[in-house]
Amino acid sequence: MSYKNENEAAPITGPALWSAQAHLPSVLGRQLIIERAEGGYVFTTDGRRLFDGTAGLWHANVGHARPELADAAHAQMLRLETYHVFGRYLNDRAVELGERLAAMSPVDDPKVILNSGGSDAIDVACKLARRHWQHAGHGDKTVILSREFAYHGLHAYGTSIAGLDFNRDGYGTESLVPETARVSTYDIDAVERTVHEIGADHIAALVAEPIQGTGGVITPAPGYLEGLQRICRENDILLIIDEVITGFGRTGHMFATERYGLQPDLITFAKGVTSGYAPLGGVLVAPHVWQPFYRDSDRTPMFRHGATYSGHATACAVALRNLDILDEEKLVPRVGELEQLLVRELDALAGHEAVVETRVAGLLGGVGLVDDVSAEAVTDELVEHGFVTRPLRGNTVQISPPFITTDDELRQLVAAIGAVLDARAAR
């Protein structure tokens, strides 16, 4: 049954594909269709060549259209496209990738859960945190805390713990999963007060991005992340670090937990593990969380996780080759070099009358603009200059190009932002 409001405007026509994360009346008729890519550039069906200043959605770390990754997928598909990893069954590529990730993990002696992406990983991590406490006999520990302005994907749990309120709006309740709450992104004392108000005996886990991406490239205040870890340790709360964006080199370290000296209980990852060449994500699980599910006992429980494509053999083969490229081309140290250049370039831009502040951590940059200069309008104009960027919360322009970016390309990207701001100021 449908209900028609006679006063509603007629729908706008467009392609059959329903665009993701889009206010459709605002984008229909002016969408850019990408048909191919090479290195740090994408090409549209209407003939534009655009520098990919966002690495897609923060993921194209080794650049686009790498033949090595296509070859890895091709060879794997000819041998075994995939086989599930349920029960007794595994596939060799999933086992190999699990061992590789465990060896490089900042969590000692982890188990590795593989799935199809970052939203999957968050769902699994939040469920595992609650399952952990239920099995331990702490049945009241069900609340998942997350930070204001946080983004953790858009599955049911990711939607529920979103710190961007608009991602939770419109579903009839404040949170799809009811036992969630937000804490301050800046004030560690306020976080501690929230924990005490809710009661630590009700809180299963706290989820945090080390650097908030979609929230506006928000870098942590000195001591903030360490404070979150302390609060979790003192109150028997699991700390889940969301490294979906930051994992695999984006901060100049393989994991941002290494940059900030953290030891979380679970780490979620995705994007950079394959550089977006195949959909794959997962969770690194610390021993005190995984061991109760591995004991040889009649009372040992199951943790019921997994989907058809968990441990997808071709995705795992691509991930393994992608990790090789990061090592062979020394791309993680290269991010450290690009970070220093980006800091210098944005420092020069910071004095512009339209700029409130600039933020950098690794090859993650944000340019916060004054209220009367729209970040969305600026990013639209940058397309006309040959650059892809994105508007983020806080009226922020995102900068996060591939790791293969040259010094000149990074300078040109920042200069283009300055040129657009100058042109707008001159109007």
Strands (E) located in 209-354: 238-242, 266-269, 281-285
CATH code at position 80: 3.40.640.10
Strands (E) located in 334-422: 355-361, 364-369, 387-388, 391-392, 396-399
Pairing, β 143-147 against β 180-183: parallel
- What pLDDT does 3 receive? 61
Helices 407-426 and 331-349 pack at an angle, to 10 degrees, of 20
**Does residue 19 belong to any structural domain of this protein?**
no
- What pLDDT does 12 receive? 80
Domain boundary among 263, 297, 328: 328
For residue 227, what are its two tokens? 């404070």
| pTM (2 d.p.) | 0.96
Domain boundary among 281, 306, 328: 328
Query: Based on the number of CB atoms within 10 Å of its own CB, is 72 exposed (0-12), middle (13-18) or buried (19 or more)?
Result: buried
**Does residue 218 belong to any structural domain of this protein?**
yes
- What pLDDT does 164 receive? 95
249 lies in the same domain as 357: no
**Does residue 16 belong to any structural domain of this protein?**
no
**Does residue 17 belong to any structural domain of this protein?**
no
**Does residue 9 belong to any structural domain of this protein?**
no
Number of domains comprising the chain: 2
**Does residue 35 belong to any structural domain of this protein?**
yes
How confident is the prediction along the chain (427 residues), in pLDDT tens digits per residue?
A: 556 666 678 888 889 999 998 999 999 999 999 999 999 999 999 999 999 999 999 999 999 999 999 999 999 999 999 999 999 999 999 999 999 999 999 999 999 999 999 999 999 999 999 999 999 999 999 999 999 999 999 999 999 999 999 999 999 999 999 999 999 999 999 999 999 999 999 999 999 999 999 999 999 999 999 999 999 999 999 999 999 999 999 999 999 999 999 999 999 999 999 999 999 999 999 999 999 999 999 999 999 999 999 999 999 999 999 999 999 999 999 999 999 999 999 999 999 999 999 999 999 999 999 999 999 999 999 999 999 999 999 999 999 999 999 999 999 999 999 999 999 988 7
271 lies in the same domain as 322: yes
Please tell me whether residue 112 adopts helix, strand or coil conformation: strand
**Does residue 7 belong to any structural domain of this protein?**
no
CATH code at position 380: 3.90.1150.10
* Residue-range definition of the domain harbouring residue 57: 24-62+330-426
Domain boundary among 309, 328, 347: 328
**Does residue 8 belong to any structural domain of this protein?**
no
